[in-house]
Amino acid sequence: MKTICPFDGFVKAAVLASGFGFGLFTVQPGFATTCIWTGGSGAWDNPANWSTLTVPAAGDNVYITNNATLTVTVNSDMEFASLAVGGTSGAITLNWNGGWLSGKLLLGPSAILNLVDDSNDHILDGVITNYGRINWQQSMWDFNNASRLENQSGALLDVQCDRTIVSLGANNSPKTSESRT
């Protein structure tokens, strides 16, 4: 077993310390690749920004937990088993310009997720647990199958547009649609 920090705990992990996310966690080897953001501000799909020198893929445990202020820009689909964003200091901003987000995303207290780019829908196929801030600035937000947003105590979901959240069922057919302003 190998010990990693600061917060995994999503999939295939056993918590070794109590409290929210800043403890140590043990991950069983062989389940997934651990991808750690090593770049400053930059593009998600640039392999040079990752410890593995490859862009994270489905099944990977991903960490953007630098103690710094930086922005990661996502112009492509994101697939992973788990993604932890936010360090113990600084502010990490994830600018999601549309496409699929597939996996479990944990936004720590210092994390900011911006949903931007009106020309692309944002399709969630997983769970977002928010302890930080989500700024929904533009575009439609689709929740595929059993996807959900869990906004925790002290977190903020800031809706800055007049758009629609759509819940999609099997084959991406709309189940329900709700508009909030």
pLDDT at position 51, please?
A: 97
pLDDT at residue 9 is higher than 60: no
Mean per-residue pLDDT for 158-163? 82
Residue 131 within any structural domain of the chain: yes
Instruction: Give residue-wise pLDDT tens across range 113-123.
Output: 998 876 777 88
Rounded to an integer, what distance in angstroms lies between the CA atom of residue 97 and that of residue 106?
Answer: 18
Which position has the higher pLDDT, 143 or 120? Answer: 143
Is 5 part of any domain?
A: no
Q: Are 5 and 36 in contact (CB under 8 A)?
A: no
| Per-residue confidence band for 16, with pLDDT thresholds at 50, 70 and 90 | very low
Rounded distance between C-alpha atoms, residue 92 and residue 19, angstroms: 21
Domain membership of residue 3 (yes or no) is no
Structural domain includes residue 164: yes
In a domain, 65, yes or no: yes
Question: Structurally, how many domains does the chain consist of?
Answer: 1
Contact 86, 111 (CB under 8 A): yes
Kindly state the average pLDDT of the residues 100-107: 94
Q: Is 13 a residue whose pLDDT tops 70?
A: no
- Against a cut of 0.85, is the pTM above it? no
Render pLDDT for 17-41 as a digit per residue (tens, 0 to 9).
223 343 333 344 455 799 999 999 9
For the chain, give the mean pLDDT. Answer: 78
Tell me, yes or no, whether 90 lies in a domain: yes
Residue 20 lies in a domain: no
Residue 13 domain-assigned (yes or no): no
Q: Which residues form the domain of 158?
A: 33-180
